[in-house]
Amino acid sequence: MKKVFMKGCEAIAEAAVRAGARFYAGYPITPQNEIPEYMSRRMPQVGGVFLQGESEIASVTMVYGAGAGGTRAMTSSSSVGISLKSEGISYCAGARVPMVYVNMQRGGPGVGTIQAAQQDYFQATRASGNGGFKMIVLAPATVQEAVDMTYRAFDLAERDRNPVLILGDGVLGTIMEPVVLPEMKSDEEVAALKQKNRDWAIVGHSREEKRGFIDPGYWSTDMQEAHCVSLNEMYERWQREDVQVEELYLEDAELVFVAYGTSARIAKSALKLLRAEGHRVGMIRPLTVSPFPAASFDKIDYARCKCVLDIEMSIPAQMIYDVELALRERCAVETCLRSGGNLIERDDVVKKAHEILKGGVER
């Protein structure tokens, strides 16, 4: 198929349009500005709606409204903007409104920096809002993966009637790579997708149909508990059926890298160099950081493996908590970290790997 050369943010936006997204609301913030800019041009071309809200809070609430009407809806932001959207995202989870959103992470708490980082892992996988809800969080490492994951995210959101997050960073959003774009859904297909949601969406039902949402804020405690039980069953199904992961050379690995997104690109480059030197290095790359691929750690030969190296653009490390839970103290854990917008370099990973492989670590 024909490849096109696209910037990460613009490729994500085009993939969303091709997946049938017909509503986008957002607010400018670096490094994801190319998504709303692209959507402002593209949505009118396909009969969709683009709105720049007066704030992040307004934008996510608009997405809630569009999603509640059965329209495939999307928003995007970066780190501090996602924090502002968290209440609306939580409300979508509580009211079972499907939505897709993108976080192009930047560095640090507060306003932080505009450079790429991976310091929103906790926010993405632990606390995207109140109430303890979870989401499927897709973590692409290439522009092609970002395209494919975005296209699929809308199906996952509608299947579960739940928010789905594409977790990128400033590198992924701004690099340009050749991609194969997915097929564009026709107007008839988009209309059919919306019609399929009629059983639950607010689309002008008659009084006799008695359909639509019940605001979870007004439920009894028993109703709310039953709702949470139902959600937990869905989360357990994700762990069984929706984990995505890339596993490399686990069968003979004396050292195993764990990394996602941009850090994984760099770690994989280091792995190739180390394997060429004769070192037995493997890798676990989560494509879904939620649900996390804990079962992959059972494939490591712990009689052979000296250490697992957690590689993140975050100080303090965040993914390491999931790594340690999956390891269950079967192996030592070390970290290779940068933060605040400083990218991990291949030499950083190679140097740390050499230290571990040469001297070992105490269990």
Same domain (yes/no): 153, 200: yes
Same domain (yes/no): 173, 210: yes
Same domain (yes/no): 254, 230: no
| 61-111 pLDDT, tens digit each | 999 999 999 999 999 999 999 999 999 999 999 999 999 999 999 998 988
Task: Tell me the C-alpha distance between 112 and 83, whole Å.
Answer: 13
| 324-345 pLDDT, tens digit each | 999 999 999 999 999 988 999 9
- CATH number of the domain that 235 lies in? 3.40.50.970
For the chain, where are the alpha helices, taking DSSP H only? Answer: 8-18, 34-45, 56-68, 80-95, 121-125, 143-160, 170-174, 187-196, 221-241, 261-276, 320-327, 346-359
Same domain (yes/no): 343, 263: yes
DSSP state at residue 91: H
DSSP line for 263-292:
HHHHHHHHHHHHHHTT--EEEEEESEEES-
Query: Residue 363: what pLDDT?
Result: 46
- CATH number of the domain that 334 lies in? 3.40.50.920
Same domain (yes/no): 130, 39: yes
Section 193-218 average pLDDT: 72
Residue where a domain terminates, one of 224, 241, 258: 241
Q: State yes or no: pLDDT of 215 exceeds 60.
A: no
- Decide if 124 contacts 138 (C-beta within 8 A): no
Q: pTM of the entire structure?
A: 0.95
Q: State yes or no: pLDDT of 317 exceeds 60.
A: yes
Residue where a domain terminates, one of 241, 276, 292: 241
Q: State yes or no: pLDDT of 208 exceeds 70.
A: no
Q: Quote the domain boundaries for residue 215.
A: 4-241
For residue 79, give the amino acid letter.
S
Percent share of the chain, pLDDT over 70? 95
Same domain (yes/no): 343, 275: yes
Among the listed residues 138, 168, 134, the one whose alpha carbon sits nearest the alpha carbon of residue 151: 138
Task: Tell me the C-alpha distance between 101 and 42, whole Å.
Answer: 17
Same domain (yes/no): 17, 122: yes
Same domain (yes/no): 190, 335: no
Domain count, the chain: 2
Residue where a domain terminates, one of 178, 211, 241: 241
Same domain (yes/no): 302, 177: no
Q: Residue 279: how many CB atoms within 10 A of its CB?
A: 18
Backbone angles phi, psi at 247, to 5 degrees: -120, 130
| 342-360 pLDDT, tens digit each | 999 999 999 999 999 998 5
| 251-301 pLDDT, tens digit each | 999 999 999 999 999 999 999 999 999 999 999 999 999 999 999 999 999
| 224-237 pLDDT, tens digit each | 898 889 999 999 99
